[in-house]
Chains A and B, each alone.
Chain A
Amino acid sequence: MNYDRPELRDRLAAAYALGTLRGAARRRLERLMSSDATLAAAVEDWQRRLNPLVEALPPVDPPARVWAAIEREIAATTLTEQTVTRLPAGDASIALRTIALWRNFAIAATAIAAALAIYIAVERPEPGDAIAPIAVLNDDAGHAAFVASTARLSTRLVIARVGAGTGAGPQRSYQLWLLPHGGARPRSLGVIPDLRQTVFELSVENAKGLVDADGIAISLEPAGGSTTGLPTGPILFKGPVTSD
């Protein structure tokens, strides 16, 4: 269909706003709108014209349980919205560009791409909600060893190894720590079972802490992780959480 004809464009925009355009045709127009500003503007114009109709309906109070459910959901997303403001925005290509600022670009990009592939397969984030790196963990010599990434509206943190590196060794584990703002005691995010890449499901508290954390670190611990709640072995890898 030729969407360039102004009258057709306007008719489709009106059908979209009125709601008579449905199903696959509706989805198709939505896709077009994201790349066609004139079409998007025509739809907005029609929505602006028609949607004041909502004002004419006599209001009906929703039951209290609706608000209670909204509040519960908001509590879970609030922290990630705050996290977002610190994340490099956008899509995978931006994530890869960001990584390029660091060393070991090629290896990092490969690892991130792999992590991305897995993340998308698991999470199917909305467009624009792609994963982006928030910290590079270096070893003592300053070589990048791991990259921590997260995505908009997600409490998940992906740790991917970007250096060659060796494992923790027998009877040892690598444990991931959040270094809270202001030098407070490290908080365990968990033992890293797979050094190539592991997806951590963060608690709300830890995801909030990530927003203004000083950094992320990995320590060497007895197999299964520290039993004291704090790092007992040496901090092997460490890096600051980046903001925009």
Chain B
Amino acid sequence: MTEPNQPSIAAFPSPDGLSRLLLQVAAGDRRAFTATYQEAAPQLFALALRMMKQRDLAEEVLQEVFVSIWVKAGRFDPGKGSALAWMAAILRNRCLDRLRTRRPESSIADEDAAEWTDPAPGPLDRALRSAEGRAIWRCLDRLEPGPRNAILRVYYEGLTHAELADRATIPLGTIKSWIRRGLTRLKSCLDE
């Protein structure tokens, strides 16, 4: 096994391609598993880094998640969203479990606060591969900056309401109501 190449945007398989790979993984196909890793790991690793804020922890989580994907691939249902989203759900659960027991005292977030202030990737980074990916940004763009950034920071950094309130020095009540209202509007926009 050579080190997986970073997939270029163009080389990234269609969402359907990744779903097909995952179904082959469910059947025990090791080559499909290798391909799944090559295609999805860089994206998932990026998310793990954002959430865990420590490289070694992010690597551990990624490893656990792919072992879990190998075992659980049979539970993936292509009718219920993209393969990448399914894998991201597993990864986020694992990260949140870890963060529950261990929130690093001095995190990158605190040191490089500026870097995390606007978690929304720039338009050029929005290499959105699926219709769902495009839809959520379209709907997020309709929200006011407060609710939008609150939702994005909580999602990407694995923060609780209180942690975000602390870091953004915004009252907890405001954060809660931003997120609640934001999610309601997001839902009605996405379900349109």
Contacts and interface: CB of A to CB of B under 8 A. Distances in A.
In the complex, which range does the number of interface residues on chain A fall in?
35 or more
B81 A70 contact: no
Given A50-B155, A57-B46, A153-B71, A66 B62 contact: yes
B38 to A, nearest CB: 9
A198 interface: no
A59 B89 contact: no
A65 B59 contact: yes
B179 A57 contact: no
Nearest to A75: B30
Contacts, number: 165
Q: Is the interface of A mostly helix, strand, loop or mixed?
A: helix
B46 A59 contact: yes
B31 interface: no
A59 B41 CA distance: 8
Nearest to A49: B190
Contacts of A71: 1
Interface stretch (A13-21, A182-190, A217-225): A13-21
Contacts of B152: 53
Interface stretch (A77-85, A110-118, A137-145, A155-163): A77-85
A74 interface: yes
A26 B179 contact: no
Contacts of A52: 81-82, 84-85, 128, 130, 132-133, 135-136
A23 B30 CA distance: 35
Interface string A22-61: 1100100000000000000000100111111111111111
Nearest to B125: A58
A56 B81 contact: no
A78 B71 CA distance: 9
B20 interface: no
B183 A14 contact: yes
Nearest to B3: A64
Contacts of B30: 74, 78
Contact of B136 (A53, A73, A82): A53
Contacts of B45: 59-62, 66
Contacts of B117: none
A60 B158 contact: no
B158 A59 contact: no
B187 interface: yes
A66 B48 CA distance: 13
A27 to B, nearest CB: 9
Contact of A51 (B63, B92, B180): B92
Interface of A: 10-11, 14, 17-20, 22-23, 26, 44, 47-71, 73-74, 77-78, 81-82, 153
